[in-house]
Amino acid sequence: MYQYDEYDRALVRERVAQFRDQIERRLSGELSEEEFLPLRLQNGLYMQKHAYMLRVAIPYGTLSARQLRTLARIARDYDRDYGHFTTRQNIQFNWIELEQVGDILERLAEVEMHAIQTSGNCVRNITTEAFAGVAADELLDPRPLAEILRQWSTVNPEFLYLPRKFKIALCAAQEDRAAVMMHDIGLYLYRDAAGELLLRVMVGGGLGRTPILSQQIREGLPWQHLLSYVEAVLRVYNRHGRRDNKYKARIKILVKALGIEAFAQEVEAEWQQIKDGPAELTAAEYRRVAAAFVAPVYASLDDADLDYGSALARDPGFARWVSRNVRPHRVAGYAAVVLSTKPGSSSPPGDVTSAQMHAIADLAEDCGFGEIRIAHEQNLVLPDVPKADLHGLYQRALSHGLGTANIGLLTDMIVCPGGDYCALANAK
C-alpha cells in the first residue's frame, strides 16, 4: 500500500496545527459557528443532531493493520466504542467532542491518516474496488492512478469551493465492483488492440433524492491525459453548476439540463486549452507512484488445498460462507475474503466495534499481509488469504460477529446512519 512521502507528512501535520488553532478560537468565542462552519468542513467535521461527527479518509479503501488499530483506539477513547464505515470507503465517528478533535487528528497523523476533504464542496475520497490488485479479472491495479488523482485533488485551490461535493471512482476489472456509474466522474480502464492503456470517461452519476446513472462522455482517452481531462470536466462544472440551490447543484443536474452532447462539447473545448500542459502524466511519474504499491511475496501454493476441500465437505456453514463471502484471487492458492458488517438486527450495517477492529487487524496479520480493504458496500475485505487458512479464519470471524454469509444478498444492505444522527435523513 502507498506510504506517505515528506510532502504528505508536512501537509497533514500543518493542517492539524492549523485546525487546532481554529478550534481554540471557536471555543473561546473568537469565531462564530457561521465562521467556523467552512473551516470544520474542510477537516471532515460535521455538526449532527446530538454531537459532532468526524469522517476520516481511507484513500481507495486501503488500510494497514496498524491504522485499523488506531481507528479502534479512537472509537474506544473518543466515541462510543464503534465506528461506521461508509460507501466512500471512509469511517465516521458520530459522538465526538469538539475539544478532542485536535488530539484525534494528531493520532491519525501518526499513522499517515487524516480527515482532509471528507466533507465540503470539494473532490472527495477517490475510490476503487476493494479487490484492486488481487482480483482474478483485473486488467491492472487501478490504485496508482487513484493515488495520482488523490495527490492532484488534495487542497487543489481551484476545486475547493465547487457548487457541491464531487466524487470520482475508477474500475480496471471486467466486473464493475466500484459502482462507477453512480459517481460524478467514473473512469473505466482498458487496453486497445495495441496494448495501450485507455480510459472510458463517464459523467453525471449520483444517488440521493435524484438517482441518475452516469453517461459516457469520452472513449479512448490516453491515460496520460487523466488529470487534464478530469480538470476540464471540473472547470465546466465549476463554471456552470448551480449555487443557488444545493439540491440542484450536483453535476448530474447540470448534465441533465444541458444534455450530454452539449456538456461534452464544453468539456472538449476546455480540454483543448490545457491537455498539453503540466498536468499531462508521464511514464516516469506513473512508475514513481506505482512503485509504492509493491505486491506481497506470495508463497507457492496448490490451488486445490486438501485441508480446505475437506473443510468444505464436512462443514456446510463454512461451504455456504465460501460461496457468498470468498472471491477468486489472481495468485494460485489464495483467496480474498469479505467480512460482513451486517449480522442482522443486532448491529446497524457498517458499524464495527473497537473489539471487532482489533480482531480484524489480527486476522489481517495472521492470515495475510496485514492489509485490509473497505468495500463500498460497507464490508471489510482481507485481500490475501491462503485457502488453507480459510476455515480457521471463518471460525474466528464468526466468534466476532463478522462471519455472516450474506454478501450480495438482501441482508447485505447499504445504509447511512440515517435519522438517528442526520437532520437530512428521512429514515432510520
Where does 326-389 have alpha helices with state H?
354-366
> What pLDDT was estimated at residue 378?
97
171 and 276 inside one domain: yes
Residue 425: pLDDT band by 50, 70, 90 thresholds? confident
Is the pLDDT reported for residue 417 higher than 90?
Answer: no
> What pLDDT was estimated at residue 426?
81
185-191 β-sheet, strand order: 168-171, 185-191, 197-203, 215-222
209 and 161 inside one domain: yes
Q: Is residue 238 part of a domain?
A: yes
What average pLDDT score do residues 29-41 get?
97
**At 336, which CATH number?**
3.90.480.20
389 and 271 inside one domain: no
Torsion, CA 273, CA 163, CA 200, CA 218, rounded to 10: -50
Whole-angstrom CA distances from 171 to 183, 187, 383, 414 are 12, 6, 17, 20
Q: Which of 244, 266, 290 is the last residue of a domain?
A: 290
Residue 418: pLDDT band by 50, 70, 90 thresholds? confident
Cell numbers that stand for 25 in this block: 478560537
29 and 164 inside one domain: no
Whole-angstrom CA distances from 63 to 58, 228, 258, 360, 385 are 7, 29, 40, 11, 16
Task: Give residue-wise pLDDT tens across range 164-217.
Answer: 999 999 999 999 999 999 999 999 999 999 999 999 999 999 988 889 999 999
Task: Give residue-wise pLDDT tens across range 254-280.
Answer: 999 999 999 999 999 999 999 999 999
241 and 375 inside one domain: no
C-alpha closest to that of 217 among 260, 183, 163: 260
Q: Is residue 347 part of a domain?
A: yes
Helices then strands (H, E): number in the chain? 13, 14
Residue 427: pLDDT band by 50, 70, 90 thresholds? confident
78 and 182 inside one domain: no
Q: Is residue 374 part of a domain?
A: yes
Average pLDDT, the chain: 96
> What pLDDT was estimated at residue 288?
94
Q: What is the residue range of 268's domain?
A: 143-290
**At 234, which CATH number?**
3.30.413.10
> What pLDDT was estimated at residue 75?
98
Domain count, the chain: 3
> What pLDDT was estimated at residue 282?
97
C-alpha closest to that of 172 among 143, 151, 194: 143
Is the pLDDT reported for residue 421 higher than 90?
Answer: no
Cell numbers that stand for 157 in this block: 485551490
Q: Which of 55, 89, 110 is the last residue of a domain?
A: 110
